[in-house]
Chains A and B, each alone.
Chain A
């Protein structure tokens, strides 16, 4: 066991899940909510020459996806350090 004790192992996993679920909530929001479910509502709003809902579906969601992965990488690496389970 790489963790000092059982509690640390549980704590690490809980924090990891919270991080992942938080990011997936944003992932779901920008693609399924803004780009699909609420697209007609958002299309009433104009945004830089686009209808906003359309922009999310064909541009915005993809930019957010890229950002999410890098945020995850940075935060997950920091979490590993905090619990001292990073690679040498």
Chain B
């Protein structure tokens, strides 16, 4: 059977599975639609949250990025996992006790203010749309590469599938499909990783192979450690040492912090912990989520190092003199067709050569590091098909989670709690579905006509989450005196500062975007960290100068600080 048929079968089978689960778990009430009836077991919720969190970017691009920047890639590895410690210890148990459906719900009631709720809704919707545009694009790219349809057609198919199960099943449908998607995704990521680890170092666990000696041609340890070899190759070819960074320490610090705090402030992640039955479950569920994420995230840097050594050796050859193009392995030619690898024989010797600077003749796109690993390692066709299905699972699960937050924000926070408080549960559910449908269409539009600034906008999404929602939630739980004036002033200044900084450097004056012009040497990717500090500071000062918060709100804050009396699972 050829690769393409195999890919159709495997991707088709996973789609059928997702849709089957959606039909089985159709949501009947708003509570089921918003928080799956609050009855999802913690391990399963952890798995679903991990799938929700790990996007097409994590699956396809992250290993490639780490592979090309080495140590500097640590900001993503630590940044996108460390946020869960904040979530588990400082946020989710209390928000679960609070027991409502959305992040704006909490902010609106804690700060007894429609204005605060509205600011939170705007942040939530903006963050989610920013994110989802990239996902739909990911679906399209995977489709076009492995199934050889147009990117646009790929986006339409992806839209149809997400539409079906997110609109029909709501959180309930999404949660159970995400469990399936996690399994597909992790299997698809680990199989090639394990193969390549065994091939290069003889270790089954890529995490151990990462720190081991590379095998020689006869399959015996060669006495050279993988990272030692990689550092050697990098220096020899004019790159920085792989294990040392090129970013300044303060920038690495700020970016890591902005990503961690941003993760903890992302509405589609927080809302997942409203779906478990108890406060106790919210705590352990956060742990399980991180276990499932860490399985992939500790493998990513290993894959990054393996594929970098592999790639350099394939192109430059064992003597580092270059490999004749005629004898190059098939995968280089396959990927050349997609334009993701290009070779320009500058010195006309018919040999490929990869280096930093003048001598370099290769242009290699970061994204192929994961997608091409199975081919580089010469794995069977079904593994390649599996990687396609895994990439789809990653993109679909994240899109669905984001769509749900968008639809909830509209039907619950804007309509029910703001514009039309008297609508019935059934009507509200209908509006939630309509909002999800509109969300799919808008997301699809961005997938087909991607804004050229997707990468810049992702920095914005994390920056905004870090500088607006995160401080408001933390102060809402840990301060009994923070009032609405303080919280709103904090959110608005945090938001204005962060978005102003990013827009200034990324959109208005990209030519000034370098360390010499940055505030304290912090890049736009890390500025959310400073935005967060600004938010806290402004909120504290303003709250001191304005009115005291009402007694019933103080009582509410005291009430969410211990688990007893949390509403149990209902509607099940």
Q: Which residues of A contact B (CB under 8 A)?
A: 2-3, 9, 12-13, 16, 20, 23-24, 27, 31-32, 35-37, 39-40, 43, 48-51, 54-55, 57-59, 61-63, 65-66, 68-70, 72-73, 76-77, 80, 83-88
Contact = CB atoms under 8 A, between A and B. Distances in A.
A69 B78 contact: no
Contacts of A58: 66, 71, 73-74, 77, 301
B279 A87 contact: yes
A20 B278 CA distance: 20
28 contacts: A2-B564, A12-B562, A20-B89, A31-B78, A31-B256, A32-B256, A36-B74, A37-B249, A39-B71, A49-B213, A49-B225, A50-B210, A54-B243, A55-B211, A58-B74, A59-B207, A59-B210, A62-B294, A65-B84, A66-B294, A68-B85, A69-B88, A73-B88, A73-B287, A76-B93, A80-B280, A80-B562, A88-B564
B561 A13 contact: yes
Interface of B: 66, 71, 73-74, 77-78, 81-82, 84-86, 88-90, 93, 207, 210-213, 225-227, 243-244, 249, 252-253, 256-257, 278-280, 283-284, 286-287, 290-291, 294, 297-298, 301, 558, 561-566, 568
Nearest to A24: B89
Contacts, number: 140
A54 B297 contact: no
Given A31-B256, A69-B287, A77-B283, 20 more contacts: A20-B89, A20-B90, A23-B85, A24-B90, A27-B82, A36-B249, A36-B256, A48-B211, A49-B227, A57-B77, A58-B73, A58-B74, A59-B301, A61-B77, A65-B290, A66-B287, A68-B88, A69-B85, A76-B283, A86-B564
Given A27-B85, A58-B77, A69 B286 contact: yes
Contact of B284 (A24, A43, A49, A73): A73
A85 B89 contact: no
B212 A49 contact: yes
Residue of A13, A16, A58, A66 contacting most chain B CB atoms (<10 Å): A58
Contacts of B253: 32, 36-37
A19 to B, nearest CB: 8
A80 B279 CA distance: 11
A79 B297 CA distance: 32
B309 to A, nearest CB: 14
A88 B93 CA distance: 16
A16 B561 contact: yes
Contacts of A61: 77-78, 81-82
Contacts of B86: 24
A23 B287 CA distance: 14
Nearest to A40: B244
Contacts of A83: 562
A19 B71 CA distance: 32
A23 B78 CA distance: 16
Contact of A65 (B81, B213, B279): B81
Nearest to B80: A62
Nearest to A59: B298
B149 to A, nearest CB: 37
Given A16-B561, A87-B278, A70 B284 contact: yes
B298 A62 contact: yes
A43 B211 contact: no
Contacts of B88: 68-69, 72-73
A72 B85 CA distance: 9
B252 A86 contact: no
Nearest to B283: A73
Residue of A27, A39, A54, A55 contacting most chain B CB atoms (<10 Å): A54
A63 B77 CA distance: 12
A27 B249 CA distance: 18
Contacts of B244: 40, 43
Contacts of A54: 71, 74, 227, 243
A42 to B, nearest CB: 11
B280 A77 contact: yes
A69 B90 CA distance: 11
B230 to A, nearest CB: 11
Contacts of B74: 35-36, 54, 57-58
A66 B253 CA distance: 21
A46 to B, nearest CB: 9
Contacts of A80: 280, 562-564
A3 B561 CA distance: 11
A57 B71 contact: yes
A55 B211 CA distance: 9
Contacts of A85: 562-564
Given A65-B82, A66-B287, A49 B226 contact: yes
A60 to B, nearest CB: 10
